[in-house]
Amino acid sequence: MNLVIGISFVCLILLITVTANTITPYVKIYDEDAAPYKEMPPLNLNPKEKEKQYWQDQAANTLEAKLKRKLNTNVAKNIIFFLGDGLSVTTITAARIYQGQLKNRSGEEEKLFFETFSDTGLSKTYCLDKQVADSACTATAYMCGVKANFQTIGVTGEVEVSDCEKAKLESNRVSSILKWSQDAGKATGVVTTARVTHASPAGCYAHVPFRDMESDGDIEKYKLDQNSCNFDIAKQLIYEDPGKNINVIMGGGRGKFLPKDEKNSTYGSGSRLDKNLIEEWKNDKALRKANAVYVSNITELKQVDPTKTDYLLGLFATSHMNYNLEKKPEEPTLTEMTEMAIKILQKNPNGFYLFVEGAKIDMAHHEDAARMALDETLQFAEAIEKAYSLTKEEDTLIVVTADHAHTMTMSGYPDRGYNILGLFGKSKDNLPYSTLSYANGPGYHMEKAPGVRFNLENDHLDEHNYTYPALVPKYYESHGGDDVAVYANGPWSHLFSGNYEQNYIPIAEAYAAGISPSNSKISPRNSVARTSATTSVVFLFIFNFIFSVFFKKLNFFAI
């Protein structure tokens, strides 16, 4: 009898073991990656990582810093808003590893400069009519505080794409925090590596129902109505408020300001049908007797004296500026432009608002060119570090975020310190796959035969512009719909923690600066502070009166 029970028990255990093994798919996946494809030896890791004390100390230090922290509730005299176009969370993770590996470190433990900022949040990027947003509707959200339709800028959701009549109505237009800053007497600036008329910078100053109406030539090209749509973005920047009052404008896009027949000039080729808007900008500043300079290359930029310049227009390329890895010697870097902008704007005693865009992160992702996207992210981080070094935490709020994500993913089980831009995993077809890949885009490789995946083994992943693999073929990789991170440092940076809609960003920035967004329900911080100061004074006088009655002393202040 005991024997029967014993045998049944052993059988039961065996059955459970066998079942458990067959229903656990993880074991199978792990088997494929257990003999991965490796193209380089792993980097040496810090041996201390194996000791528990190392991790306990590291965590304790982080905790201690958080407990010691005193919230900064000063007025943000200056705001610098850094937009990493398409800077998804995956891009940040991969870029920090890349940054470490460029210094021969394993990389995962690295921090990009802005990752040291005191507060982090997540922003929801969808626009009114799309789950996955573009740079136009998102610019309306993070600059004007209002969500809008895909491809529209500085207008409400009443305006459908290309509806010029509706976009013209003042009641359908929304102003940006750059405009609110000007109204508060602050200096303002716009710096980008894209055309200065591109969607993100246009969010600072333009109101259009279609992001591509950058010049009057574009209005013709896209067959929009020439009469009702006669307010292209470049024109708004040069003639309208707040565009014509922006102190510093730097980036690419010269062609949107120059006439078609200007090909003969030193300016380069243009696409306008009306006139030379660079000359118009110079004339306007001359009429105002302002110290204004126009520059078109790094040599000229370096000659600008920021102490003597109130207006600077720098257009360094006909279209977008080049990728850092393909930079022409005459082009300045994002850091050089940021430095000059801050030095000019800092002269205003009321402070400044500066918008800085790392635009090429997005453009590299659209090409599935992961290495260039990571390199542009490092350029962006360097510009932020420069801005931080030129300002003070006491009075300058720096906010770093993205407009939307991208489809790059980081996957497989690569070893610690393994080349982030390399091939590591091996799939069930026994072919290697790259750690970084895209959901769609030009990196789609046709199968050699049905069911046979493209072999990446002989590809040149070390080329600066290598097109990383994509699942779905598209000429242009698409944006991603996931939330993007927000990093903040300086006065009221704690307002940026949590998860919120993207249009909250300029409202929180305005509050920190004590400036008023038009039609805001919330009083700016300054008046809140003033109200409580007034209340305190009133209470002090009441207290003084009671004190003098009870203690028969004339004045409490006298003791």
Ligand X SMILES: *[C@@H]1O[C@H](CO)[C@@H](O)[C@H](O)[C@H]1NC(C)=O
From the list 338-346, 355-363, 371-379, 532-540, the region that binds Zn ion by CB under 5 A is 355-363
Number of residues that bind Zn ion (CB under 5 A): 1
Between CA 182 and CA 10 the distance in angstroms is 81
In whole angstroms, the minimum distance from the beta carbon of 326 to ligand X comes to: 7
Q: Which of 31, 225, 261, 394 contacts ligand X by CB under 6 A?
A: 261
Sequence letter at residue 76: A
Distances in Å between the Cα of 48 and the Cα atoms of 53, 366, 512 are 8, 40, 42
Smallest gap, in angstroms, from Cβ of residue 323 to Zn ion?
Answer: 14
Instruction: Identify residues 463-502 at the interface with ligand X (CB under 6 A).
Output: 465, 467
**d(Cα 464, Cα 375) in Å, to the nearest integer?**
9
* 478 flagged as catalytic: no
- What are the DSSP calls for 247-264, one per residue? SEEEEE-GGGTSBGGGGG
The 327-366 site mask, x for binding ligand X (CB under 6 A), equals ---x------------------------------------
Position 57 contacts ligand X (CB under 6 A)? no
User: Candidates 63-71, 247-255, 258-266, 390-398 — which segment interacts with ligand X by CB under 6 A?
Assistant: 258-266
Among 104, 116, 389, 455, binds ligand X (CB under 6 A): 104
CA torsion, ordered 481, 482, 483, 484, to nearest 10 deg: -90
**Which of Zn ion, ligand X, none is residue 265 near (CB under 5 to 8 Å by kind)?**
ligand X
Residue 39 engages ligand X in binding (rule: CB under 6 A): no
- The yes or no reply on residue 395 touching ligand X (CB under 6 A) is no
**Considering only residues 19, 56, 226, 265, which one is a binding residue for ligand X as defined by CB under 6 A?**
265
Contact 205, 144 (CB under 8 A): no
From the candidates 135, 271, 434, 516, which is the catalytic residue? 135
Q: Find the angle CA(450)-CA(454)-CA(457) to the nearest 5 degrees.
A: 150
**Minimum CB–partner distance for residue 300 and ligand X (Å):** 5
Instruction: Rule CB under 5 A: say whether 362 interacts with Zn ion.
Output: yes
Which range in 65-73, 295-303, 362-370, 509-517 contacts Zn ion by CB under 5 A?
A: 362-370
**Helix H or strand E encompassing 32:** helix 25-34
Q: What are the Cα distances from residue 194, in Å, to 135, 154, 199, 390? A: 12, 19, 9, 24
227 counts as binding ligand X under rule CB under 6 A: no
How far does Cα 128 stand from its chain's mean position? Answer: 20
CA gap 397, 499 in Å, rounded: 19
State which residue, 95 or 153, has the beta carbon closest to ligand X: 95
Asked if 352 and 78 touch (Cβ cutoff 8 Å), the reply is yes
Pairing, β 396-402 against β 78-84: parallel
Closest residue to Zn ion in the complex (CB): 362
DSSP character at residue 56: H
Is 242 or 443 the residue whose CB approaches ligand X more closely? 443
Q: Which does 225 bind (CB under 5 to 8 A by kind): ligand X, Zn ion, none?
A: none
Q: Where does residue 294 rank: exposed (0-12), middle (13-18), buried (19+ CB within 10 A)? A: middle
Q: Which long-range contacts (CB under 8 A, 24 or more apart) does 262-269 make?
A: 266/296, 267/296, 268/296, 268/318, 269/318
Asked if 44 is part of the footprint of ligand X (rule: CB under 6 A), the reply reads no
**For tokens 């097109």, what's the residue?**
467
Interface stretch with ligand X, choices 278-286, 291-299, 375-383, 495-503 (CB under 6 A): 291-299
Considering the rule CB under 6 A, would residue 300 count as an interface residue with ligand X?
A: yes
Q: With H, G, I as helix, E, B as strand and everything else as coil, classify residue 357.
A: strand
Of 182, 296, 379, 396, the one binding ligand X (CB under 6 A) is: 296
**CB closer to ligand X, 100 vs 480:** 100
The one of ligand X, Zn ion, none whose footprint includes residue 467, by CB under 5 to 8 A per kind, is: ligand X
Positions marked catalytic: 135
Q: Which residues of this protein are in contact with Zn ion, per CB under 5 A?
A: 362
Q: Which residues of this protein are in contact with ligand X, per CB under 6 A?
A: 103-104, 261, 264-266, 296-297, 299-300, 330, 465, 467
